Amino acid sequence: MRYDHKAVEKKWQSFWEKEKTFAAHDEARGERCYVLDMFPYPSAQGLHVGHPEGYTATDIYCRYIRMKGVNVLHPMGWDAFGLPTENYAIKIKRNPKEVAAENIDNFRRQVKSLGFSYDWSRELNTSDPSYYKWTQWLFLKFYEKGLAYRKEAPVNWCPSCQTVLANEQVVGGACERCHSMVEQKEMAQWFLKITDYAERLLKNLEGLDWPQAIIEMQKNWIGRSEGATIEFAIRNSQFAISIYTTRLDTIFGATYVVLAPEHELLIKLKPQITNWADVEKYIAKARRKTELERKVEEKEKTGVRLEGVMAINPANKERIPIFIADYVLASYGTGAIMAVPAHDKRDFEFAIKYELPIRQVIKPKNISKSVVVGTTVRDGLKEELHKKAISFEVGLSRNKREHIRIFLRDDQINDYIKIVQNYLNDNAWVEIIGYRNIFLSRDRVIDDFLSKGREIFEECKRLEPLVRDDKNIWEMLESNLFYQGFVCYEGAGMVVNSGEYDGLDSEEAKWKMVKKIGGNRTVHYKLRDWLISRQRYWGAPIPIIYCDPPAGGCGIMPVPEKDLPVLLPDDVDFRPTGESPLARSKSFHKVKCPKCGQLARRENDTMDTFVDSSWYFLRFADSHNDKEPFNKEKVKHWLPVNLYVGGAEHAVMHLLYVRFFTKVLVDLGYIDFQEPFLKLRNQGLILGEDGQKMSKSRGNVISPDEVVAVYGADTLRLYEMFMGPLEDAKPWNTQSIAGARRFLERVWHIVLEPTSDGATASTAEQEQELRYWSARTIKKVTEDIESFHFNTAISALMEFVNFLYGLREVETPLKDEARQTLLLLVYPFAPHITCELWQEAFPAAGYIWEEPWLEYDPEALQTDTVTIVIQVNGKLRGNIICQTGAGDEEINKLAKAEPNVAKWLEGKKIIKTIVKSGKLVNFVTN
């Protein structure tokens, strides 16, 4: 019988579909498990080979736990709204609705061709009115709760997609989808108030079984910081500048203040500002830049000093200048900063450029550094340092001069000063930077020399090593790689130059200063509210009506629940113009106010598709409910999701939004769990054969359709799981896929013909060995599936098959059990072929998926065999397994027969054989 994958796969797929084999039962008792794949976005290109990677992993897991008696919910659906479909439809001049329907049909066909055990009766589609009715309903609930609001805001505008983008959709200043540079624009937009949930979103990350990297990304995105808001009075003015800082411990080092160019105080200060024309020009220029452009660390800092006004540092009452600069953003904190150039890299650069004072107020504890240029000292310094156990390294500078780079503990500094002074040439100088800042020459020691600025700098210019004239001393030292981050030191440490706080630990000083100097201890988050308005057609309409006739109306009116869904109209020219296409639909735009009945207008924007995918996991528990988004009891039965698998690219947006929705729904009383996904795993990228990301333009895209046609779904599944660890990025390899196919053919043959003609009866040792191999394989595959190490599970199965082939010359009644073991273990990976073989080889048994998962026999693992390493001339060439206590002669014979060893011995004469009993054989040849 030949292995015909086409016939086998078709047969079992239609059987499963017809019998609803994998339907999840709401009423079933016992252990339950909800295993979810991130549902795909059905693009026009169809499935790529990356999709089945995650789907296969979850399918293996589901099939495995079902055999362990668990009642599994494993659904599939389509995240079908969105820009790519709309843009594609525009390009081919068709309606997105039709295009999406075709894409879904194609995706469904492809997914089904891989034999995944989804409960297809729960399939959902976010662009179907039966689904988006409830997306709209949820929006209304958010609105009622005050969690959806409308506000005029500067937004990221993609001029090519003609729509607003969320911050998360702007990558490096460009549109994530079309890579056009994003512009800033003021527009009235709908927001969801995710910031209300920042604290909970952060806290609840604890205890989740998620990849650490994803947890870190979520934390960074939420960006919690604890600091203080403090007022800097403006001299001769009723106004003050409110500043939020996490580093109040550095306030004595604040030598100027910076306002964001959008800061509202500017207008109020205008009458006092004497260079208003320059200020105005700068504001206009800043407006043309996006927030992201302004955030770029490397770009040169610019700003304008506000002439005629001065701020007062509340810590030391010093008068300090006020600047506007676009490196300060209006959207973070209070839109104003106290600039501490000695302890903030951006302030440092700005201060260097505008020649503002730099004052050190925090010292790193227990570490200082120093660099000695070889030509400035007599020989013998290194030996002396060595004697005093002062650590140093020696390097060459760019012009090949020797540099001694020294690391100093606080208690070594005085010794060091003495040594250096002794070795330093007459006209040379050396600095110490860090805990102490010391200028050293043969006859002088100047402490805290950095604060002496200009004066010291002039001095240095007369000494060796030469100092470049156009830099100041701070800049010169910070530009030395060895000192980087040390001259401008951003860490915690000991407070200095700060009056009564000197000598305190910076963390301790911070909260003492808040008390004394005044200020409110406050928590800030980087997280911004979620902008959900999209000026596009292919999304769920926002269910809002504006009643604003000239005579006066009711204002913003939510669409009454009974009028949901607000359907997407068909009479639309959906080509983007910047205005929502829905505004041009006659049937859609004009509507009667639900309250007063006057002619009103609908909201024309649609929702970000991330809203659709923020609650789909709940809908699967009850996907045909037309009375409510989901039945509470059914959700309680199935949720939270036990295992969620998808790409790491959704680390921030999707996962954060889903967690936010979950918490809101808890607060609204619809669900009772705080976290939607208890366990998360990411599959790695599958790269093209050239090791590059698959893309049409590179021409390295592999379609699963071709692979399934030529090799079969089982081979594709097995191959993708065998490529490497699930979470790694892996290049595609067509030769290896043939290897996966060969393995399945070997399974096919060994199950159908386990024993060759003329086989001899088995010995007791052979039977024991077979028991051992079965137990070992069951144990390994079980553990590997549990821990998602599918590639090593497959390796174990391959070894088992090799072993069974080795046993073909032997006849034993244990073979039936071994064949069943093999099929049951391979089944989750390659379900079609194993179903077929099971039916063929064991017609009296039921279906393979009805069998319980195997338990291994621990006794069989306590074998009496040992593994012996074989060397040829001391090099490892193979190993053999044999009975404990086997004689040297037998071991010798087995060792020589090992194929790889035999190759190495071929044509050689064995001069000597060393046998270390039970461990090793070494053949020494001529």
**Interacting positions 596-625 with Zn ion (CB under 5 A):** 596
Residue with smaller CB distance to Zn ion, 596 or 914: 596
Residue 553 as a binder of Zn ion (CB under 5 A): the answer is yes
Least Cβ distance, residue 183 to Zn ion (angstroms): 11
Least Cβ distance, residue 178 to Zn ion (angstroms): 3
Distance between alpha carbon 94 and the CA centroid of its chain, in Å? Answer: 36
Residue with smaller CB distance to Zn ion, 181 or 894: 181
Least Cβ distance, residue 563 to Zn ion (angstroms): 14
Within 13 Å of residue 620, how many CA atoms lie on the same side as its CB? 30
Within 13 Å of residue 520, how many CA atoms lie on the same side as its CB? 9
Q: Where are the alpha helices (DSSP H) in 303-452?
A: 345-353, 381-387, 413-423
Least Cβ distance, residue 151 to Zn ion (angstroms): 21
What ranges make up the beta strands (E) of 89-134?
Answer: 124-125
**Interacting positions 671-700 with Zn ion (CB under 5 A):** none
**Interacting positions 463-522 with Zn ion (CB under 5 A):** none
Residue with smaller CB distance to Zn ion, 165 or 328: 165
DSSP code for 289: S
Looking at 1, 178, 188, 284, which residue binds Zn ion (CB under 5 A)? 178
Least Cβ distance, residue 103 to Zn ion (angstroms): 20
Could you give the C-alpha distances from 765 to 460, 687, 690, 816, 864, in angstroms and in order?
Answer: 86, 46, 48, 18, 9
Report yes or no: 127 and 120 within 8 Å, Cβ to Cβ: no
Residue with smaller CB distance to Zn ion, 178 or 911: 178
**Interacting positions 324-383 with Zn ion (CB under 5 A):** none
Least Cβ distance, residue 179 to Zn ion (angstroms): 7
β partners of residue 446? 439
**Interacting positions 380-419 with Zn ion (CB under 5 A):** none
Q: Which residues contact 786 (CB under 8 A, 6 or more apart)?
A: none
User: Residue for token digits 């290896």?
Assistant: 736
Report yes or no: 639 and 629 within 8 Å, Cβ to Cβ: no
Least Cβ distance, residue 603 to Zn ion (angstroms): 14
The DSSP code sequence of 764-833 is HHHHHHHHHHHHHHHHHHHHHHHTT-HHHHHHHHHHHHHHHHHTTTEE-TTHHHHHHHHHHHHTTTSHHH
Looking at 589, 595, 749, 896, which residue binds Zn ion (CB under 5 A)? 595
SS3 label, residue 29: coil
Residue with smaller CB distance to Zn ion, 174 or 915: 174
The stretch near Zn ion (CB under 5 A) out of 176-184, 334-342, 637-645, 692-700 is: 176-184
CA dist 636 and 618 (Å) reads 10
Least Cβ distance, residue 546 to Zn ion (angstroms): 9
Helix (H) or strand (E) holding 740: helix 734-752
Cis peptide bond N-terminal to 640, omega within 30: yes
The stretch near Zn ion (CB under 5 A) out of 250-258, 295-303, 382-390, 551-559 is: 551-559
The stretch near Zn ion (CB under 5 A) out of 419-427, 550-558, 680-688, 743-751 is: 550-558
**Interacting positions 145-174 with Zn ion (CB under 5 A):** 158, 160-161
Residue with smaller CB distance to Zn ion, 164 or 901: 164
Least Cβ distance, residue 597 to Zn ion (angstroms): 7
Looking at 155, 342, 527, 547, which residue binds Zn ion (CB under 5 A)? 547
**Interacting positions 33-52 with Zn ion (CB under 5 A):** none
SS3 label, residue 434: strand
The stretch near Zn ion (CB under 5 A) out of 52-60, 66-74, 539-547, 905-913 is: 539-547
DSSP code for 206: T
Could you give the C-alpha distances from 307 to 261, 279, 347, 519, 543, in angstroms and in order?
Answer: 15, 9, 19, 27, 50
**Interacting positions 720-739 with Zn ion (CB under 5 A):** none
Least Cβ distance, residue 293 to Zn ion (angstroms): 16
CA dist 679 and 214 (Å) reads 12
Residue with smaller CB distance to Zn ion, 607 or 655: 607
Instruction: State the first-to-last Cα distance of the chain, in angstroms, to the nearest integer.
Output: 50
Residue with smaller CB distance to Zn ion, 161 or 467: 161
Could you give the C-alpha distances from 922 to 783, 879, 909, 911, 916, in angstroms and in order?
Answer: 35, 11, 13, 11, 9
The stretch near Zn ion (CB under 5 A) out of 134-142, 496-504, 585-593, 876-884 is: 585-593
Residue with smaller CB distance to Zn ion, 559 or 822: 559
Least Cβ distance, residue 741 to Zn ion (angstroms): 42
Residue with smaller CB distance to Zn ion, 52 or 576: 576
Residue with smaller CB distance to Zn ion, 97 or 595: 595
Looking at 90, 373, 554, 666, which residue binds Zn ion (CB under 5 A)? 554
**Interacting positions 629-658 with Zn ion (CB under 5 A):** none
Looking at 315, 467, 566, 593, which residue binds Zn ion (CB under 5 A)? 593
The stretch near Zn ion (CB under 5 A) out of 177-185, 293-301, 580-588, 818-826 is: 177-185
The stretch near Zn ion (CB under 5 A) out of 587-595, 797-805, 896-904, 907-915 is: 587-595
Helix (H) or strand (E) holding 642: strand 641-647
Residue with smaller CB distance to Zn ion, 178 or 752: 178
Least Cβ distance, residue 692 to Zn ion (angstroms): 23
The stretch near Zn ion (CB under 5 A) out of 546-554, 671-679, 689-697, 716-724 is: 546-554
Q: How many residues bind Zn ion (CB under 5 A)?
A: 13
The stretch near Zn ion (CB under 5 A) out of 1-9, 432-440, 483-491, 592-600 is: 592-600
Report yes or no: 679 and 213 within 8 Å, Cβ to Cβ: no
CA dist 102 and 208 (Å) reads 38
CA dist 77 and 79 (Å) reads 7
**Interacting positions 870-889 with Zn ion (CB under 5 A):** none
* Of 756, 742, 739, 770, residue with least CA distance to 833: 742
* Of 209, 63, 71, residue with least CA distance to 721: 63
Least Cβ distance, residue 534 to Zn ion (angstroms): 12
| Residue 199 structure tokens | 């604290």
- Give, in degrees to the nearest 5, the angle at Cα 755 between 749 and 760: 165
Q: Which residues contact 14 (CB under 8 A, 6 or more apart)?
A: none
The stretch near Zn ion (CB under 5 A) out of 287-295, 554-562, 737-745, 853-861 is: 554-562
Residue with smaller CB distance to Zn ion, 381 or 547: 547
Looking at 76, 147, 170, 175, which residue binds Zn ion (CB under 5 A)? 175
SS3 label, residue 438: strand
Least Cβ distance, residue 600 to Zn ion (angstroms): 6
CA dist 744 and 739 (Å) reads 9
Enumerate helices (H) and strands (E) in the chain, giving the number of each. 31, 41
SS3 label, residue 700: coil
| Residue 763 structure tokens | 């010995």
Residue with smaller CB distance to Zn ion, 177 or 679: 177
Q: Where are the alpha helices (DSSP H) in 469-615?
A: 473-478, 506-517, 586-589, 609-612
- Count other C-beta atoms under 10 Å from residue 236's C-beta: 9
Residue with smaller CB distance to Zn ion, 595 or 601: 595
**696 labeled part of a ligand binding site:** yes
The stretch near Zn ion (CB under 5 A) out of 306-314, 436-444, 591-599, 832-840 is: 591-599
Least Cβ distance, residue 681 to Zn ion (angstroms): 31
Binding-site members for ATP are 696
Binding-site members are 696
**Which residues form the interface with Zn ion (CB under 5 A)?**
158, 160-161, 175, 177-178, 180, 547, 553-554, 593, 595-596
